[in-house]
Chains A and B, each alone.
Chain A
């Protein structure tokens, strides 16, 4: 039978909020744990996850709707074999301001009024806001199971009362998802300052607490593991971009046009960086590796991850076999992946794996920086801005467009000389793009 999804209370005091965004469309399959919508209050934006499985049968409250009262039905999930005709809205129309272009909520005149008497302080809904401020509510048994399974309980989603983590949530979690390549005797992760200690330092009222969403928690946990288990070292080199920019201009100017007279491609410097890194890894295959305790994984293809900043975090979608793809193909693929990353619509296989990654902050004018390796990669290339610099060539000062890149290496897998070779190969492709044709 159709299940109503109700507007969740993101805090005990929340009465209404804005339905900022739907991340699923009507007709989309929804699985338990899928992020389906974003809710904004004056304090925070939070993602809400589906608890039930099924098809998103109907969106009752369109995105952009302000002041949606807590417990108002916002959508309906259909079970297996049910179709939209089964939907009968079970409650009163939301007392909400609806944008004019949007259809008004379906009539629900015969439905009962929302119950006030039975409403608990944090109403039970079909949704589970991520909870993240400080204490993780969990049962003693869940805590013990998590400990026995070496699982970070903060990353587990609770299905008990008020989102409490209970034993079945631990049982449903996959063990130690973060410890991809860490040895069995991984050093115990040092914990940072406890929250209470940090909170003591700041005067209450001088800050607000924005709860972490799932992505933030995963970023935090992965990078702590990366920094604690991967011995990083850094190699920096500058590349002249003048030749590359010339080629880029030519290629873009000669891009064929589609029926709407739009050019079929518009290559970016980053597309060249991706291709160069992919080819460099083929040239120096010893650096195209992943460290495992059992042995070195030597990868055949150059699968290059590219960090894409999104609201509230980042994704690293992977361009597979980038060495075999043309710049135009890489460019088109990257555009699609980045757009879908921003909408959080990437499938896991699109951002998992890869052998290296590229993080480009050039567009922000960053000259150079070093990046944290994204396990299980062995390297990551931090790319700075292309800028005109005074460069000494043959004892004369000339103006060149330069770009500084820093390669972070996992010293267990890639030694200094090897990393340098990789970087030198990369530089040769950047500085002389004609080599890419070979």
Chain B
């Protein structure tokens, strides 16, 4: 073992961990990252990235099926599941290799194995039960991420009841599918499998799908998904799951009644829980609540020298939040002037069809905070580019503080909105008011013009509606 003493050692090479490691190396710290399975973590290998590859295939398949609407002919439209999955895996592989390259380029030591803290600044690493070595570091950053939550009665078996791991690499598209949970993960898989021809039913325990999103946007998305043939139950739960031979029978309780449903497969997407176990944290007295590390705005736990970032340090459990926390944490260790992450300005994206993207407060939340607000809305039907694209179903909603003109939230549903939301993210981070947004010139013809119109609408000045 060449080197066993580091300034900063990061446990977990997901998006939080590997970005923190690169930033630490840039700042001149002698940095190591310990990874048990795959560089890039869930995001890159079993989450964000491979699902986007699958959804891209689904999207193109969808367009091919609707070629006629664009005046095109496409004969024999079909797909080969194995090739679709292979493409998705290849995308992950390529990026996984890329992360390895970036870490090497930045002279970050990558330690292959499972880490466990054996003291305040000591880490023991093992691989498949065999010792890899003992390491010391002044600062240890826990970036171990999260894993699927398991609900009693809904335990994944890898065969009939899937988590995102199995759902990512199907050998065949099931004829019928029950998705439990309608957060981003549940809805994305529901959307993928529906487009690929599955008979999809979604069950959500809360009153709306995409519970983190604005009510109006979620309702709009729901209508579109239902139009595409999805069955959705909200305020409902799966009470009984019975495995039969090649089938599963599920009992769905909606509050009003009970429904019986027979499906080939079930995807459990009921959230994730932090990976805090077997890291030696309890022994060192690191504060853990509800399976998550308790940290301050700079990732510091209650034990000096031990930090937590990303999913394991609490919601929102998003890759970009983890990356940013990693950077803030490391810069703070360096003593740079840095501010804790403003959580209300973290955007969220869901890549179903239609896409959903948002940043900031929802209308309900803004009102609950007692704010006096102005709300603007602009539908895709009023936008030339959207109509030309054949994507005229969508909505851009903006929420302003009535007294100060601060942009409190932006919520979108429709084509390409996941690529549009960054405009509002930047605006919000620069603390623009409605005035700057109204005065900005948006290019024509683009979908972004709807962002402008939505702001105009909030101030009673909308043009194309």
Contacts and interface: CB of A to CB of B under 8 A. Distances in A.
A112 B335 contact: no
Interface in B41-78: none
B300 interface: yes
Contacts of A111: 7
A88 B335 contact: no
A144 B335 contact: no
A423 to B, nearest CB: 50
Nearest to B31: A112
B436 interface: yes
Given A88-B138, A112-B30, A141 B432 contact: yes
A3 interface: yes
Interface stretch (A117-125, A228-236, A309-317): A117-125
Interface residues on B, range: 20 to 34
A115 B138 CA distance: 19
Interface string B1-45: 000000100000000000000000011111000000000000000
DSSP class of A's interface residues: helix, strand, loop or mixed? loop
B197 interface: no
A233 B406 CA distance: 46
A112 B28 contact: yes
A1 B304 contact: yes
Contacts of B333: 1, 90
A148 B405 CA distance: 12
Contacts of B336: 6, 124-126
B461 interface: no
B339 A159 contact: yes
Which of A127, A139, A148, A166 is packed against the most chain B CB atoms within 10 Å? A139
A140 B27 contact: no
Given A145-B404, A166-B431, A1 B300 contact: yes
B305 interface: yes
Interface in B382-412: 403-406
Given A139-B431, A140-B432, A1 B30 contact: no
B422 interface: no
A114 B27 CA distance: 7
Contact of B334 (A90, A110, A128): A90
A91 B331 CA distance: 13
A420 B138 CA distance: 72
Contacts of A380: none
Contacts of A115: 26-28
B172 interface: no
Contact of B27 (A112, A127, A142, A167): A112
Nearest to A92: B28
B101 to A, nearest CB: 18
B406 A167 contact: yes
B335 A141 contact: no
Contacts of A1: 300, 304-305, 333
B335 A73 contact: yes
A141 B337 contact: no
A118 B404 contact: no
Nearest to B24: A112
B335 A167 contact: no
Contacts of A91: 335
A113 interface: yes
A406 interface: no
Contacts of A302: none
B404 A141 contact: yes
B397 to A, nearest CB: 20
Which of A91, A128, A144 is packed against the most chain B CB atoms within 10 Å? A144
A1 B329 CA distance: 12
Interface string B280-318: 000000000000000000001000110000000000000
A112 to B, nearest CB: 3
A385 interface: no
Interface in B422-444: 430-433, 435-436
Contact of A114 (B28, B30, B339, B406): B28
Contacts of A110: 7
Contact of B430 (A124, A139, A144): A139
B27 A4 contact: no
B338 interface: yes
A113 B7 CA distance: 12
A128 B27 CA distance: 21
A86 B304 CA distance: 10
Nearest to B8: A112
Nearest to B26: A118
Contacts of B337: 51, 124-128
Nearest to A8: B337
B465 to A, nearest CB: 26
B29 A112 contact: yes
Which of A3, A5, A128, A142 is packed against the most chain B CB atoms within 10 Å? A3
A179 B435 CA distance: 29
5 contacts: A3-B335, A4-B335, A91-B335, A139-B432, A141-B432
Given A112-B30, A124-B337, 11 more contacts: A1-B304, A4-B335, A6-B336, A51-B337, A90-B334, A113-B28, A140-B432, A141-B404, A141-B406, A145-B404, A148-B403
Interface of A: 1, 3-6, 51, 73, 86, 88, 90-91, 110-115, 117-118, 124-128, 139-142, 144-145, 148, 159, 166-167
Listed from nearest, the 8 A-B pairs whose CB atoms lie closest are A112-B28, A4-B335, A139-B431, A141-B431, A124-B337, A115-B28, A118-B26, A124-B336
